[in-house]
Amino acid sequence: MANPGVRLMRIISYNIYGMQGYPAESAQSDLGPHGSPAHVEHFAQVLQSFGADVIALQEGVTQSLARDLARQLSMHLATFPSPTAFPGHVLSRWPVVESRTFSHVSADEDVPPFSRTAGAALLEGPDLRLWIVNIHLHPGDLDLRAREGDLLHDRLSALVAETKHAIVVGDFNSAVDEPGIHVHLRDMGFLNTMENADGGLRLTMDTAGIREWIVDHIYLSPSLSPGLTHARIIRDEGFRTDSPRPDGRWDHSDHLPVCAELDLP
């Protein structure tokens, strides 16, 4: 775990698949009902194992369940509701000063922008404040995803005008060369830490039974990127399984967690 007395930050981004486990049926047979003490304790231990200062989750859970996790982890919590069924959360060892939600139900659109989730939490770190922008873009509609990217560019420009330190994390559901949010972030000078991870860009969806994909990322603002010390994709036991999947074997999620460590300015 990062030492609170040292200006080192470890951040995790993790699409946690609703805390169901993958495949969900196999996980439930071991953990019991969703929200049961054994279920919550399992995922609290998974998150605790990261030793992180900040954990951003996509495809999260109800607020009451997220609060239970935060209390077990002794972390502050910001939740970003979903217009559909995919809330996001930021768990932080640093206090949350404020949070802003970008994902809203629309009266005139069946699938509004940020139909999964998007929002920002302002954290009070050691001698600085920084934004954690947690996003989960649309998985299938390229035009909608491009629109989400444009909207995020506008929101992010306003955020960094207030506080220049920002980290954009989440499930981008897109390749890094797709027009949209990745291009906007590069144009703003943000650094994709996953391109600097061990071996460069690697699969973040890589377990038996799913489509392989590189979609989970952590971007650092220009004020923070010089401090990057290490980045990696967590592929430890329990997070993925080689094909063919043994009977009864399940993973914590269908995504892999991504991690970045940096020295703060």
pLDDT digit string, tens, across residues 82-127: 999 999 999 999 999 999 999 999 898 899 999 999 999 999 988 9
Q: Which helix (H) or strand (E) holds 186?
A: helix 181-187
26 in a structural domain: yes
C-alpha 134 chain-centroid distance: 6
Q: Is residue 165 part of a domain?
A: yes
pLDDT-based confidence at residue 2 (cuts at 50, 70, 90):
very low
pLDDT score recorded for residue 106: 87
Question: Is 2 inside a domain boundary?
Answer: no
Q: Can you point out the beta strands (E) in the chain?
A: 8-15, 54-58, 76-80, 88-92, 96-101, 117-125, 128-136, 166-171, 191-192, 216-220, 228-233, 258-263
Which domain does 244 fall in, by range? 8-263
Q: Which tens digits make up the pLDDT trace of 228-259?
A: 999 999 999 999 999 999 999 999 999 999 99
Report field, pTM of the whole predicted structure over 0.85: yes
The pLDDT of residue 7: 84
What CATH number did the domain enclosing 224 receive? 3.60.10.10
The domain total for the chain is 1
Instruction: Quote the distance between the C-alpha of residue 97 and its chain's center.
Output: 19
Integer CA distances (angstroms), 217 to 68, 130, 168, 182, 263, in order: 26, 18, 8, 10, 19
pLDDT above 80: residue 168: yes
pLDDT at 199: 83
Q: What's the pLDDT at 1?
A: 43
| Nearest of 120, 169, 138 to residue 13 by alpha carbon | 169
